[in-house]
């Protein structure tokens, strides 16, 4: 029988605050006030200034070049510096150093959107193990990831760093990743806690949200992660939540995170986040990163004039000491600086193919039955491995699509190869050289799409067996994506695709489109131009090899969408509240002179995010949550339930049979529709998922789900508790959120209060929340 995936375990909590270990307390007791203050503020970083050698934002040069930050050492107490480095898609450190001639490349893994689309928690844990090995072997103590903010809106600039629009998927992926990384004895920092769902004015943006939506959608993945995986650290986010900076919110960092959820690790701020160091200390934001002299002064002054109790700093410091005591740095781990990058590249390739999503495949266009391909689109020759900013990785290479095809035994058209490569290298040579900070402030646009005339397209349609066209997108920290020329195709791309499609279809030859993007794009207006569409996401450094594996059929695609692809951007429920209402007239100067523009984002959609909205309000998406095709087909049958009435838990099982001709894997998704009760509920919500092993044609696997009252509970604001409604619940096992294959009902005899919480994070204004 298939392994059980039980999505329970968030049971009622004891409201005891975390107390630090005796050893940590004893060490703190030996510290001077100055040492304590030093410890709660990081070692800082060099920032670019006039006439100074330009140092990088996001990098400290102390122990591991290119790492994001370092904590303070107290040698008299045998407490070393520890090093933290980004990020979610792999370790971000400098690939070379001035001090030697070695290289320090790290593996660029597939981005989080791809990993989540695999729905394969075992595989994600395996990626985590390998990622964590690089962290350890490069002398780093904590990796600043994974990112688990919800994909609230398709334009979120950092969505590629985050998993999904659904809290269960995001939570379970995080658990797998944290367990994998931390199995090495290094830490993770789950981020950004919380409600950091847009990049626009991220340091001055107020997320205005109801308690229910906050708890059910945005805090939930963090809750799952804290309860089930014990991350060493949590990173608080830049934004305000209902008027208070996340990093200054006692309610968020102490009442919810520590008292309700029992988090025992340390909280660090996002880099230069928040503004009141004393408030941050009081909130339980133990460590201020990367750390500034002003923060030290503010804390010292407050201690001296008694507006800050030393006990608060003692607690914060003790949590930092507890963390340090667990680090490889403290244990004097002799790191090799030589992780097995070859083995990791092989795993990155497998993982990448596992999370790609086949969106369309008319008349079995794929797997490819031909060898001669005309490959179009700049991105085919300049593939995007991952996003920009702190979520970037300094990898040694990225296999392009065309390279992957060649290695896979295909013959891309040589003249096109020559034309595109010389065009791209010429255009790249014209681009200004920028450091990390300059690129962050002013991202270099992607090279304009090379235009080809109709005569050329007709000639290629005559000589090649098929056309492949890649659409490429990139985004990253600091700004959100745009609708025009990004979410939507650029006019030049649409025009080229139209003409490729016309030329090839005129000769009865097929067109395959590859989407190489970290997030959602528009597909409905152009998908009829393509016979097949493969969503390759940003698949990491082995990109082209992994795409070729799927195109060739070496790997049967088994990814499914963990975020909805709407027909058009305007269909999304969050559009009128994204990226929020901006007040430029109230702007002040922030870090490095960057303007801080007050912004308000009202989460008027409430709990109706992603498929919870589309499927409840019957807005048809281009591709729904949970959607993804395979080269084979599956039959669902024999759904069974352990009991028609839920006592403590029920088990639901069903058989999945491969009814096609090729081996393949299926992702079965369990949605539950609640009975009509006191609270508004989405049409159905995901409560469990299981990915089968590779099933041979004719082979059957039994999938199994354990459901408890806890999984059925919604947050009742009036009573500040999680409640599972009495009545008849319908469990729907589907191949996607709209392709339900089998249903079964069960009853909960009485209402169950699964958790009583504190009245916190209360919005200060009325929210005109969406209801059914």
> What gap in Å lies between CA 141 and CA 68, rounded to an integer?
11
Of 392, 364, 377, the C-alpha closest to 516 is 377
Q: Is 58 in the site for ligand BGC (CB under 6 A)?
A: yes
- Tell me which residues in 580-639 interact with ligand BGC (CB under 6 A): none
- The residue (of 58 and 274) whose beta carbon lies closer to ligand BGC is 58
Q: Report CA-CA distances (Å) from 548 to 333, 405, 407, 545, 632.
A: 40, 5, 8, 5, 18
Where are the alpha helices (H) located in 289-400, listed in sequence order? 293-304, 310-325, 341-355, 378-381
- The residue (of 61 and 649) whose beta carbon lies closer to ligand BGC is 61
Quote the tokens at residue 510. 């097929």
Of 333, 345, 392, the C-alpha closest to 86 is 392
Q: Is 522 in the site for ligand BGC (CB under 6 A)?
A: no
Spatial contact of 568 and 425, defined as CB atoms under 8 Å apart: no
Spatial contact of 299 and 107, defined as CB atoms under 8 Å apart: no
Minimal distance, residue 250 CB to ligand BGC, in Å: 22
Q: How many CB atoms lie within 10 A of CB 654?
A: 24
> What gap in Å lies between CA 376 and CA 45, rounded to an integer?
43
> What gap in Å lies between CA 159 and CA 191, rounded to an integer?
13
Among residues 105, 160, 193, 271, which is the contact residue for ligand BGC, using CB under 6 A? 271
Minimal distance, residue 116 CB to ligand BGC, in Å: 18
- The residue (of 68 and 672) whose beta carbon lies closer to ligand BGC is 68
Among residues 37, 64, 68, 359, which is the contact residue for ligand BGC, using CB under 6 A? 68
- Three-class secondary structure of residue 234 per DSSP: strand
Minimal distance, residue 329 CB to ligand BGC, in Å: 18
Q: Is 86 in the site for ligand BGC (CB under 6 A)?
A: yes
Minimal distance, residue 270 CB to ligand BGC, in Å: 5
Minimal distance, residue 90 CB to ligand BGC, in Å: 13
- The residue (of 199 and 251) whose beta carbon lies closer to ligand BGC is 199
Minimal distance, residue 196 CB to ligand BGC, in Å: 8
Among residues 31, 121, 144, 226, which is the contact residue for ligand BGC, using CB under 6 A? 144
Minimal distance, residue 55 CB to ligand BGC, in Å: 13
- Tell me which residues in 445-484 interact with ligand BGC (CB under 6 A): 477
DSSP string computed for 642-704: S-SB-SSEEEEEEEEEE-SSS-B--EEEEEEEPPS-SS---S-EEEEEEE---BPTT-EEEEE
Among residues 270, 522, 711, 755, which is the contact residue for ligand BGC, using CB under 6 A? 270
> Which residues face 700 on adjacent strands?
657
Spatial contact of 578 and 601, defined as CB atoms under 8 Å apart: yes
- The residue (of 333 and 437) whose beta carbon lies closer to ligand BGC is 437
- Tell me which residues in 164-223 interact with ligand BGC (CB under 6 A): 191
> What gap in Å lies between CA 127 and CA 578, rounded to an integer?
33
- The residue (of 191 and 612) whose beta carbon lies closer to ligand BGC is 191
- The residue (of 590 and 677) whose beta carbon lies closer to ligand BGC is 590
Sheet bearing 142-144, strands edge to edge: 69-70, 83-86, 142-144, 187-193, 233-236, 266-268
Minimal distance, residue 68 CB to ligand BGC, in Å: 4
What 3 state SS string does 425-461 have? HHHHHHCCCCCHHHHHHCCCCCCCCCCCCHHHHHHHH
| DSSP type of residue 361 | E
Binding mask 364-393 for ligand BGC (x = CB under 6 A): --------------------------x---
Enumerate the active-site residues: 270
Q: How many residues bind ligand BGC (CB under 6 A)?
A: 10
Minimal distance, residue 708 CB to ligand BGC, in Å: 34
Contacts of 44 (CB under 8 A, 6+ apart): 60, 290, 291, 292, 293
- The residue (of 390 and 398) whose beta carbon lies closer to ligand BGC is 390
Q: Is 439 in the site for ligand BGC (CB under 6 A)?
A: no
- The residue (of 238 and 722) whose beta carbon lies closer to ligand BGC is 238
Q: Which residues bind ligand BGC (CB under 6 A)?
A: 58, 68, 86-87, 144, 191, 270-271, 390, 477
């Amino acid at each position: 029988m298939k392994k059980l995936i039980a999505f329970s375990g968030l049971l009622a909590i004891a409201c005891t605050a975390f107390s630090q270990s005796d050893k940590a307390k004893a060490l703190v007791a030996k510290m001077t006030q100055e040492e304590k203050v030093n410890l709660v503020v990081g070692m800082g970083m060099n920032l670019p200034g006039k006439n100074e050698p330009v140092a990088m934002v996001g990098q400290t040069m102390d122990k591991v070049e290119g790492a994001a930050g370092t904590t303070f050492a107290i040698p008299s107490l045998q407490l070393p510096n520890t090093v933290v480095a980004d990020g979610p898609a792999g370790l971000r450190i400098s690939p070379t150093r001035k001090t030697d001639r070695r290289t320090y490349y790290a593996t660029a893994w597939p981005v989080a959107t791809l990993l989540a689309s695999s729905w394969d928690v075992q595989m994600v844990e395996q990626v985590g193990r390998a990622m964590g090995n690089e962290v350890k072997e490069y002398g780093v103590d904590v990796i600043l990831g994974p990112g688990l903010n919800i994909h609230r809106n398709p334009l979120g600039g950092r969505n590629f760093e985050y998993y999904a629009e659904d809290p269960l998927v995001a939570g379970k992926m995080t658990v797998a990743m944290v367990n994998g990384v931390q199995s090495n004895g290094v830490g993770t920092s789950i981020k950004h806690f919380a409600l950091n769902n847009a990049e626009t004015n991220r340091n001055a943006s107020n997320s205005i949200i109801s308690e229910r939506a906050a708890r059910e959608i945005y805090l939930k993945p963090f809750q799952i992660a804290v309860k089930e995986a014990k991350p060493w650290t949590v990173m608080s986010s830049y934004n305000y939540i209902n008027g208070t900076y996340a990093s200054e919110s006692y309610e968020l960092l102490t009442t919810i995170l520590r008292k309700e959820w029992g988090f025992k690790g340390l909280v660090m701020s996002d880099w230069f986040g928040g503004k009141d160091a004393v408030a941050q200390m009081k909130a339980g934001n133990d460590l201020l990163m990367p750390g500034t002299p002003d923060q030290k002064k503010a804390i010292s002054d407050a201690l001296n004039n008694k507006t800050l109790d030393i006990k608060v700093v003692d607690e914060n410091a003790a949590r930092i000491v507890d963390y340090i005591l667990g680090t490889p740095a403290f244990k004097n781990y002799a790191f090799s600086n030589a992780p097995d990058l070859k083995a990791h590249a092989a795993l990155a390739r497998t993982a990448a193919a596992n999370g790609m999503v086949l969106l369309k495949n008319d008349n079995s266009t794929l797997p490819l039955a031909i060898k001669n391909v005309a490959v179009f689109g700049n991105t085919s020759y300049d593939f995007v491995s991952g996003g920009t900013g702190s979520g970037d990785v300094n990898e040694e290479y990225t296999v392009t699509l065309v390279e992957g095809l060649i290695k896979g035994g295909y013959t891309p058209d040589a003249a096109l190869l020559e034309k595109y490569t010389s065009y791209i290298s010429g255009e790249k040579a014209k681009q200004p050289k920028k450091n990390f900070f300059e690129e962050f402030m002013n991202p270099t646009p992607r090279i304009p799409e090379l235009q080809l005339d109709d005569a050329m397209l007709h000639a290629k349609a005559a000589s090649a067996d098929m056309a492949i066209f890649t659409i490429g997108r990139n985004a990253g920290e600091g700004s959100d994506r745009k609708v025009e020329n990004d979410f939507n195709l650029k006019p030049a791309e649409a025009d080229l695709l139209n003409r490729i499609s016309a030329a090839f279809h005129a000769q009865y030859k097929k067109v395959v489109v590859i989407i190489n993007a970290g997030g959602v794009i528009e597909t409905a207006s152009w998908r009829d131009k393509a016979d097949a569409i493969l969503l390759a996401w940003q698949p990491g450094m082995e990109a082209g090899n992994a795409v070729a594996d799927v195109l060739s059929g070496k790997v049967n695609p088994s990814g499914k969408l963990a975020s909805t692809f709407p027909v058009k951007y305007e269909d999304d429920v969050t559009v009128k509240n994204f990226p929020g209402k901006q007040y430029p007239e109230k702007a002040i100067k922030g870090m490095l002179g960057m303007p801080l523009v007050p912004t308000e984002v009202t989460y008027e959609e409430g709990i109706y995010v992603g498929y919870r909205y589309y499927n409840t309000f019957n807005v048809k998406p281009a591709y729904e949550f949970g959607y993804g095709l395979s080269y084979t087909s599956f039959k669902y049958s024999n759904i069974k339930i352990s009991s028609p009435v839920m006592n403590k838990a029920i088990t639901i099982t069903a058989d999945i049979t491969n009814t096609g001709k090729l081996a393949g894997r299926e992702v079965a998704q369990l949605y539950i529709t609640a009975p009509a009760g006191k609270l508004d509920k989405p049409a159905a919500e995901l409560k469990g998922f299981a990915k089968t092993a590779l099933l041979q044609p004719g082979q059957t696997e039994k999938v199994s789900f354990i459901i408890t009252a806890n999984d059925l509970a919604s947050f009742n604001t009036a009573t500040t508790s999680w409640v599972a409604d009495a009545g008849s619940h319908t469990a729907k096992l589907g191949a996607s959120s709209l392709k339900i294959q089998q249903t079964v009902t069960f009853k909960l005899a009485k209402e169950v209060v699964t958790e009583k919480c504190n009245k916190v994070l209360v919005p200060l204004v009325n929210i005109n929340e969406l209801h059914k």
